[in-house]
């Protein structure tokens, strides 16, 4: 039987506790899970690929079957094919995410019919947070320590206070 290999791709700018919860839960479903900070051309990023990779790796070092890979310059389906991933992991925080995520899954299915999309619903505790929201709250001095890892919170404050 072939290995179950998943790819969880996202912008992770910054990674939140919600993303990390999805990674931990997805790691239980697959023999190997790749996590890939990717490029979304409609977003302006605050963190570099290396910073995002470091934040994620620091938080998942106990997960032996999870590897962070570079996906910044390609389609997620191309990366999945390269990694022999037969599943894409996508998450939904709320009903508003369904339309967008089902569209992504449909496009991915057209691009590669051999890759199945698996949706994980966000833990209720994290269902209201997004990376964009964390940047906004941090920019105006709000406490984000419940929503992102401590290293992320500190770096967010440092970067946003420069402006």
Q: What is the 3-state secondary structure (H, E, C) of 27-85?
A: HCCCCEEEEEEECCCCCCCCCCHHHHHHHHHHHHCCCCCEEECCECCCCHHHHHHHHCC
Catalytic residue among 24, 43, 102, 145: 43
Q: What is the pLDDT of residue 11?
A: 92
Q: What is the Cα–Cα distance from 24 to 27, expressed in whole angstroms? A: 5
Q: What is the pLDDT of residue 108?
A: 95
Catalytic residue among 25, 91, 131, 162: 131
Q: What is the Cα–Cα distance from 76 to 56, expressed in whole angstroms? A: 18
pTM of the model: 0.93
Q: What is the pLDDT of residue 161?
A: 77
Catalytic residue among 52, 53, 91, 93: 93
Catalytic residue among 2, 4, 19, 72: 19
Q: Is the pLDDT of residue 130 over 80?
A: yes
Q: What is the pLDDT of residue 2?
A: 84
Q: What is the pLDDT of residue 1?
A: 59
Q: What is the pLDDT of residue 42?
A: 73
Average pLDDT over residues 39-60: 89
CB 12 within 8 A of CB 39: no
**Could you confirm whether 24 is annotated as catalytic?**
no
**Could you confirm whether 43 is annotated as catalytic?**
yes
Q: Is the pLDDT of residue 78 over 70?
A: yes
Q: What is the Cα–Cα distance from 31 to 65, expressed in whole angstroms? A: 6
Q: What is the Cα–Cα distance from 81 to 108, expressed in whole angstroms? A: 12
Q: What are the binding residues for substrate?
A: 11, 43, 76, 90
Ranges of each domain in the chain: 5-127
**Could you confirm whether 109 is annotated as catalytic?**
no
Q: What is the pLDDT of residue 152?
A: 95
Which residues, 6 or more positions from 39, have their beta carbon under 8 angstroms from its beta carbon? 11, 71, 72, 73
Question: Using one digit for the tens of pLDDT, what is the confidence trace for 80-91?
Answer: 999 999 999 999
Q: Which class is 5-127 in CATH?
A: alpha beta
Question: Using one digit for the tens of pLDDT, what is the confidence trace for 30-49?
Answer: 999 999 999 777 778 899 99
Mean pLDDT, the chain, integer = 93
Residue 12's closest CA among 46, 39, 37? Answer: 37
As given in the structure block, the two tokens for residue 110 are: 């057209």
Q: What are the binding residues?
A: 11-12, 19, 43, 76, 90, 101, 126-132
The H or E element containing residue 106 is helix 95-111
**Could you confirm whether 25 is annotated as catalytic?**
no
């Amino acid at each position: 039987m072939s290995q179950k290999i998943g790819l969880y791709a996202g912008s992770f700018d910054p990674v939140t506790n919600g993303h990390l919860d999805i990674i931990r839960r997805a790691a239980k479903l697959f023999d190997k899970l790749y996590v890939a900070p990717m490029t979304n051309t409609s977003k302006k990023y605050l963190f570099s690929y290396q910073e995002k990779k470091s934040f994620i790796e620091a938080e998942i070092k106990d997960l032996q079957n999870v590897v962070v890979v570079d996906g910044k310059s390609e389609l997620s389906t191309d990366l999945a094919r390269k990694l022999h991933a037969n599943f894409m992991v996508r998450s939904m925080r709320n009903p508003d995410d369904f339309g967008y995520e089902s569209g992504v899954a449909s496009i991915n299915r057209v691009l590669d019919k051999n890759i199945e999309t698996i949706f994980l619903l966000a833990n209720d505790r994290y269902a209201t947070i997004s990376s964009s929201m964390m940047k906004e709250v941090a920019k105006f001095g709000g406490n984000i320590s419940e929503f992102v890892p401590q290293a992320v919170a500190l770096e967010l404050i440092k970067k946003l206070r420069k402006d």
